[in-house]
């Protein structure tokens, strides 16, 4: 009976499912994803009849997708990471 009461008290005391560090990592991952999409944007041509080679530069083809993937990996890690028990 005492063991059941302890688990019920522990469940009531915890307000959030994740800890503070988890939420900080989630914000960092989300910021990296947004940064990656910002880096991927642009390259628009002023004249629709002229092709702009700027859309195939390193920033849009390689750097931005890598940053987005790093952001998603951080998001997964932030959700699954559990602090050490004391």
Report phi then psi at 8, rounded to 5: -65, -40
Q: Which two tokens stand for residue 25?
A: 């990592």
- Could you tell me if residue 26 is inside a domain? yes
pTM attached to this predicted model: 0.74
Q: Domain for residue 68, yes or no? A: yes
Given a cut of 70, is residue 1 above it in pLDDT? Answer: no
Distance CA 12, CA 15 (A): 7
Residue 70 forms part of a structural domain? yes
Range of the domain at 28: 20-42+51-86
Q: Is 84 inside any structural domain?
A: yes
Report pLDDT for 17: 84
Cβ-based burial of 47 (10 A; exposed 0-12, middle 13-18, buried ≥19): exposed
Q: Each residue of 35-64: pLDDT tens digit?
A: 999 999 987 778 888 888 888 899 999 999
36: its two tokens: 């990656």
Domain count for the chain, please give it: 1
In a domain, residue 12? The reply is no
pLDDT at 10: 53
**C-beta neighbour count of 34 within 10 angstroms:** 13
């Amino acid at each position: 009976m005492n063991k059941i009461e302890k688990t019920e008290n522990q469940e009531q005391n915890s307000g959030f499912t994740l800890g503070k560090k988890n939420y900080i990592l989630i914000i960092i991952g989300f910021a990296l994803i947004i940064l990656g999409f910002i880096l991927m944007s642009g390259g628009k041509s002023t004249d629709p009849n002229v092709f702009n080679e700027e859309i195939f530069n390193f920033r849009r083809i390689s750097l931005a997708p890598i940053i987005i993937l790093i952001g998603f990996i951080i998001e997964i890690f932030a959700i699954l990471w559990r602090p050490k028990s004391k």
